[in-house]
Amino acid sequence: MTVRARGGDGDGASRSRTRRLTEYEGAAAGRLLAAGELVVIPTETVYGLAAAADDPAAVGEIFRAKERPADNPLIVHYADPVSVLSLLPAALEDVETLITALMPGPLTLVIPAPAWVPRIVTGGLETVAVRVPALSVTREIIRAAGRPVAAPSANRSGRPSPTTFEMALTEMDGRVAAILDGGQCRIGIESTVVDVCTPGVFSVLRPGQITADDIAAHTHRRPAPAARIGHSPGTRYRHYHPEVPVVVVPPQDWDAAWEEARTVCREPRALRAGEIGTYTAGLFRFFAEAEAAGADCILVEDVPEARAPGLHDRLHRAADRNYRPGVIQELVTS
């Protein structure tokens, strides 16, 4: 039975037993989705909170479980690229090369919404965000459901996205019918969202692992400024923030920032950059571990936007402040 929350903070939500499914129970997860239930599913990016995309009542439960604003659009997940290709109007046929090259994978395309897509999925827009996840168990779940599934990240609105089963359980236990354990998500940040509705150009609405250069390499379109950021899931409101102050620190200021944190914080935690893939995959898990350890401030090392645009975006959107002398003192005493 899917939880139906009452009240604004979720504390008054009616609770029901959440099943723990193994990676071998994708078919069971799909059957629950087909029956109108909510299921937390793993992907290669982050864990998603899934419902049958053609079931407005089930999709409505996503917003209640996440405590998510109703005008924030959702991503519709398909089991194969052919299904996404079938959605393209004639004016967007040139997008086929992009889909063929980069799907399945951490790429979401914003396209004109087919008539069947409920407006609760699109946030009232005339466009819809679609992708094909790379993780095989996720595609198995979608095939077993017999329909595409709408699935934002499986966290309460504004919080870091879960990248492990344990994080997903902390966020959604008692709010959903089941959570499928897919282990640690390989990528660790959400997919790149690209608007391709205007012929001849593409716009990156939300950066991720796939970059604008990657997209340009597989299309004759030219990049254009993102004029419709609100058409992307996950960009209208603050996201990725743990319940601990976060400070982004430039590499050259690291020693000074850490010394200040050790002086003014009772329980500081710090994460330095290294290999970009490892840093990205572990970022949200580090936030969860710092919360669990009772940290009162978190330092994360900045990376250049040109080097890792998705990671740079998540660091700065999670942060309370960029480092300058005295800012940690201000945060922990305010």
Residue 250, SS3?
A: coil
Q: In a structure prediction context, what are the per-residue pLDDT tens digits for the chain, which is 334 residues long?
A: 344 433 334 433 344 689 999 999 999 999 999 999 999 999 999 999 999 999 999 999 999 999 888 888 999 999 999 999 999 999 999 999 999 999 999 999 999 999 999 999 999 999 999 999 999 999 999 999 999 999 999 999 889 999 999 999 999 999 999 999 999 999 999 999 999 999 999 999 999 999 999 999 999 999 998 776 555 665 555 678 899 999 999 999 999 999 999 999 999 999 999 999 999 999 999 999 999 999 999 999 999 999 999 999 999 999 999 999 999 999 988 7
**Judging by beta carbons within 10 Å of its beta carbon (0-12, 13-18, 19+), is residue 38 exposed, middle or buried?**
buried
Looking at residue 328, what is its pLDDT?
A: 95
pTM score, whole prediction: 0.92
Where does 173-227 have alpha helices with state H? Answer: 212-216
- CA of residue 99 relative to chain centroid, distance: 20
> Distance between alpha carbon 321 and the CA centroid of its chain, in Å?
22
Residue 78, judged by CB atoms within 10 A of its CB (0-12, 13-18, 19+), counts as buried
Looking at residue 333, what is its pLDDT? Answer: 82
Residue 285 contacts residue 300 (beta carbons within 8 Å): no
- What pLDDT sits at residue 3? 44
Cα torsion through 323, 328, 332, 334, rounded to 10: -70
User: Please, which residues have CB within 8 angstroms of residue 293's CB and are 6 or more apart in sequence?
Assistant: 267, 269
Alpha carbon distance 95, 207 (integer Å): 19
H or E, element range at 321: strand 321-322
Check residue 323 and give left, alpha or beta (phi > 0: left; psi -120 to 50: alpha).
beta
Between the alpha carbon of residue 20 and those of residues 43, 169, 180, 320, the distances in Å are 16, 9, 6, 34
**Neighbour tally for 49: CB within 10 Å:** 30
* Cα–chain center distance at 255: 32
CA 146 to chain centre: 23
Helix residue spans in 93-177 (DSSP H)? 96-102, 119-122, 136-145, 165-172
Q: Give the per-residue pLDDT at 232.
A: 61
pLDDT at 280: 98
Q: Say how far apart CA 96 and CA 244 lie, in whole Å.
A: 43
Find out whether 284 and 232 touch, Cβ atoms under 8 Å: no
Report all structural domains of the chain as residue ranges with CATH numbers, in order of start.
19-231 (3.90.870.10), 246-333 (no CATH)
Burial letters 123-142, b for 16+ CB under 10 A, else e = bebebbbbbbbbbebbbbbb
Please say whether the dihedral angle defined by the alpha carbons of residues 127, 128, 129 and 132, taken in this order, is positive or negative.
negative
SS3 13: coil
Residue 169 CA, chain-centre distance (Å), reads 16
Rounded CA separation 159/156 (Å) = 6
DSSP states of 20-76: EE-TT-HHHHHHHHHTT--EEE--SSS-EEEEETT-HHHHHHHHHHHT--TTS--EE
58-63 contact pairs (CB < 8 A, 24+): 58/2, 58/33, 59/118, 59/120, 59/121, 59/150, 60/120, 61/2, 61/3, 61/4, 62/38, 62/150, 62/151, 62/152, 63/120
